[in-house]
Amino acid sequence: MNRVRAVFEKKDRAKYISHLDLNRCMLRIFRRSGLPIWYTEGYNPHPYYAFALALSLGFESSCEILDFNITDDEMSMEEIRDRLNEVMPEGMKIISVKPQRKKITEIAKAEYAVSLETADPEKLLADVKALMASDEILIEKKTKRGFKTVNIKPDTEIVKCTVNDSALEIVMRLPAGTQTNYNPSLFLDSLKNAGSQPFSVKKICRTGILRADNKAFE
């Protein structure tokens, strides 16, 4: 049995596929591909596959991770990739298929490219800087036991900000994985509340899934 890890992108119209729907969609992709995917051996056998992280509805991604097992050890990684790509829906594409190297628990962060549409990008940039200079960024995070106030400041990394004509492009890193997950929308809500420059979110794209040392998770 071959344990493999696919990296795929989810863009354009595919960003409207919710995580729950993506699960069902993936099952059908596997069935259409005819790949010898490994089934669980319990009372109700079903194809085994797992997404490393959930992606919010409306977010694009260039780096989603999907693990599954192929029962045919002879099958090449390229063949698996190509057969899946033949039956993928519009906007979704497998970039690579490789053997699973690291454990899912090693995922620590995710990187996002955020594009904010605004009349005055320079002023919005100043708002971002002011927010990051503050001692804490408190947000209300929904948990199983109601809401909880969390300071996301220490774990929020702004990698880069670029100003262009009508938008501010931010590259940021946030905790992700089995322990803590911060959605970039939490930061953006704080920015909206604390800042003075109005903006609308044009696009959010996950561009990297990283380990604690900022290396790509593979």
Residues that bind another protein (CB under 8 A): 12-14, 16-18, 21-22, 24-25, 27-32, 34, 39, 45, 57-58, 87, 89-91
Q: What sign results for the dihedral spanned by CA atoms 30, 35, 40, 44?
A: positive
- Residue with smaller CB distance to another protein, 57 or 212: 57
Pair of tokens at residue 143: 């948990």
- If the CB atoms of residues 51 and 159 are measured against another protein, the closer one turns out to be 51
Least Å distance between CB 130 and another protein? 27
Least spacing, CB of residue 135 vs another protein, in Å? 32
Compare residues 32 and 102 and give the one whose CB is closer to another protein.
Answer: 32
DSSP string covering the chain? -EEEEEEEEE-GGGGGS-HHHHHHHHHHHHHHHT--BPBP-SSS--B-EEESS---TT-EEEEEEEEEEES-TT--HHHHHHHHHHTPPTTEEEEEEEE--S-GGG--EEEEEEEEE-S-HHHHHHHHHHHHHSS--EEEEEETTEEEEEE-GGG-EEEEEEE-SSEEEEEEEEE-SSS----HHHHHHHHHHH-SS--EEEEEEEEEEE-TTSPBP-
As given in the structure block, the two tokens for residue 91 are: 């906007």
Nearer to another protein, 23 or 62 (CB): 23
* Min separation Cβ 186 and another protein, Å: 16
Question: Is the Cβ of residue 55 or residue 131 nearer to another protein in the bound state?
Answer: 55
Q: Shortest Cβ distance from residue 87 to another protein (Å)?
A: 7
State the minimum distance, in angstroms, from the CB of residue 109 to another protein. 25
Q: Nearest approach, Cβ of 12 to another protein (angstroms)? A: 8
